[in-house]
Structure 1
Amino acid sequence: MHSETHLALHHLRAADLRAEADAHRLAAQAKRPHAIRTRLGWTLVEVGLRMASPRPALAH
């Protein structure tokens, strides 16, 4: 393969990889609010379970 052709293909592939990385980065940022909601939901479940469970009796 001619060196100029090889270099042109390399530049095209690098541009494709950058575009894929940008798309992945945007998709990951779009998922973040969902992760925050999930974390908040599980925190509320934990607090509810602590409130619903009886307190242990203190030994004197």
Structure 2
Amino acid sequence: MRLEIHLALHHVRAAELRAEADAYRLAAEARRPRDLRTRLGWALVEVGLRLAATPKPAAAIP
């Protein structure tokens, strides 16, 4: 294969990968606030369930 053709194909593929990475990064940035909100919500649910659960009797230490 001629070097010029190989180099041109390399540049095209690199541009495609850059565009794909940019699209993925933008999608991830748009998704982050909801993920954080969801994790915080589930953490609050877990804390609430622990507070509402009946306390276990303390084990006696001999």
TM class by shorter-chain length? Answer: 0.7 to 0.9
Structure 1: runs of 5 or more not aligned: none
Give the aligned length: 60
In structure 1, the residue matched to 2:28 is: 28
C-alpha RMSD over aligned residues: 1.6
Q: Matches of 2:58 and 2:31 in 1, distance apart?
A: 45
Q: Matches of 1:19 and 1:55 in 2, distance apart?
A: 55
TM-score, scaled relative to structure 2: 0.79
TM-score, scaled relative to structure 1: 0.81
Q: Matches of 1:31 and 1:23 in 2, distance apart?
A: 12
List 4+ stretches of structure 1 deviating above 2 A.
Answer: 55-60
In structure 1, the residue matched to 2:51 is: 51
